[in-house]
Structure 1
């Protein structure tokens, strides 16, 4: 992710992006299970277009750099604004060759995860060879797949795997003992650790790495050891902690992580206004914070982050039947939520229900109503049926299903803008923080994976100069 070519500086880009998101916040500000509110706010010209658009136009719409002649001016303007604010697509780096032993060892892993493990491991290995890195700190190491793949590439690496889940630490150790050669058992150390960037966590990491280095005859003085922080699926705030550890640990010379799960970012405590961002670690950069300073209502919320980590437009194209079915399911799920309209009630899909919903009776059979307070099963009431009729009259004859899919089309159109804004904010923050500490760093994102296989395909790469 990077600064789009249409902009000269970070501030102007963030300002334009924030203004756009503020104007079109109705596209993403509600969860899709509550999308009736978004459909109510959708401009009439948008509704008229999507209700008559061909499946070919629907499939093409999110590819905003591709001309679409049948759009009204309002939608042409929307697409042009989006195209201006997202970086040009780049072909991912050519897949790297990996040892066949590595693939065979992980043959039970899904295609997506195996692709990510192999390609990220090969990328890390290339960078570490150039930097003469000796010790790797694998954040969120899970079951140890990335660490194992790296040792297949270079059995001289020392790797400290840090994982918050105790059971995964145990499983990683057992897996290593079962599958890896004896030398690897001494080269990998898995520890349970909830990683943060505070001084106490940093001290524990330094103690673990010093112990691992000393056990291999290296000096326990970490200033003599070149280290890298790595991470496959550095979820939510873990990516930010990794960036801060990179900045504050002198012996760490490189950072290679794959951010994901943005929607799990931690919330700030005591924030009850509509102006401030509710998240601890977003926005991070002074440039984006400046761009949002004068907003009447903050345009960043949980659905925004969820959209940023949804599938990209590369998987949008479908036949008309698939679009129709998805729109139908989304509309009726949201309609059930809207019919309830009680914060103390919770709508759930009936377990194993194959009921096709076309009327209120079908909705009652398809969806269950529960009390949020007691989890007790509740009955649908006549007042719900009245509300159902009021809402469904606005979206009768399949209009609701069509417009629900149109909303998904609009969300897909801005997905890359949302993700680029979030990831570029982190890149700007890393540069700003490094400058404050008088560190010279080189930082960029590299599209390492095929979007068709792995939607989260951006790897943050930083090195100290």
Structure 2
């Protein structure tokens, strides 16, 4: 990822992003289910509301792509143009990925299958480029990724998993479905922290030193919340790890250092000193809170561009029903609900 063409300085870019987010925080600085609780719709300019009421379903689908009608209010045009100007350049590489039959020994979903085969292909492409023969799989779960990296691409793999039952299941699945990789794919129970470098080095030596020295890749599928930061810190300490490939997720679950009604300060966000200084200047802890971090977990705008009118109405209806329930709960101070069927 690189800066938009109009920016030379990362400081200028971050400053403009924070200034933009601060100006438009009324659009996102709350949980989606709280739109009625916080009277969010009352903040929408009236000409915006008139515009959206008048456009067709096709025009609504084109709106996320910044294809606006001439009648679009100037303030709404300015918003969409600013979003476009801040969009970073994302470098996309073509990765050769072959659909792989994976033993579905744990109820593997289509989404997870897609992630596993594509991440495995990306790991292989980078490992081949740097002549690596070992992968340290952090958060290995039931061993899908670890076994695929060996069975298809011939890597030695050490899977690290914090849940003992998952480690047992990974080995049970190995015995049943991947008996030929017993010496080349190993799993260990360990809760990863920034101080795990020595333990991981010892585990590698225990399992693979007899096979020969290796240089490897540190990888993680679904490096949830603070685990992404932990993996970055570990990578800097593991000399025999030459590449890092992770798929972060669940940013809104990162650890809070302290919070109040209007501010949320996170232990590991921001992580760079440069960003921290600008963050403080713009008082970003008042609007880059968990509702903001959840946006990274939402569907992209491409999810909406082909929706029919009925699908839009169904989506809006379910959204507002949940918002109404939240409003009722807030008014009545209902925080717990229990029901059962006899």
Q: Same fold (TM over 0.5)?
A: yes
Distance 1:338 1:42 in 2: 19
Alignment of 1:258-407 (within 5 A): 258-268=247-257, 270-272=258-260, 274=262, 277-296=264-283, 298=285, 299-317=287-305, 318-342=307-331, 344-346=333-335, 370=336
Q: Is the contact between residue 220 and residue 245 of structure 2 (CA under 8 Å) also seen in structure 1? A: yes
Deviation at 1:59, TM superposition (A): 0.9
Point out where structure 2 has 5 or more consecutive residues left out of the alignment.
none
User: Secondary structure, in 3 states, of the residue corresponding to 2:245?
Assistant: strand
Corresponding residue for residue 44 of structure 1: 46
Q: Is the contact between residue 274 and residue 297 of structure 1 (CA under 8 Å) also seen in structure 2? A: no
Alignment of 1:92-241 (within 5 A): 93-97=94-98, 102-106=100-104, 109-155=108-154, 157-182=155-180, 184-198=181-195, 201-214=196-209, 216-218=210-212, 225-241=214-230
Deviation at 1:131, TM superposition (A): 2.0
Which TM-score applies when normalising by structure 1? 0.67
Deviation at 1:164, TM superposition (A): 1.6
Structural RMSD (CA): 2.4
Corresponding residue for residue 80 of structure 2: 79
Corresponding residue for residue 70 of structure 1: 71
Distance 2:288 2:332 in 1: 22
Residues 376, 321 of structure 1: alpha-carbon distance in 2 compared, 3 angstrom cutoff? closer
Deviation at 1:225, TM superposition (A): 3.2
Residues 322, 264 of structure 1: alpha-carbon distance in 2 compared, 3 angstrom cutoff? same
Count of aligned pairs between the two proteins: 335
Distance 2:128 2:198 in 1: 27
Which TM-score applies when normalising by structure 2? 0.89
User: Secondary structure, in 3 states, of the residue corresponding to 2:29?
Assistant: coil
Deviation at 1:238, TM superposition (A): 1.3
User: Secondary structure, in 3 states, of the residue corresponding to 1:84?
Assistant: helix
Distance 2:94 2:211 in 1: 37
Deviation at 1:262, TM superposition (A): 1.5
Distance 1:212 1:106 in 2: 27
Corresponding residue for residue 32 of structure 1: 32
Corresponding residue for residue 420 of structure 1: none
Residues 296, 70 of structure 1: alpha-carbon distance in 2 compared, 3 angstrom cutoff? same
Distance 1:119 1:296 in 2: 39
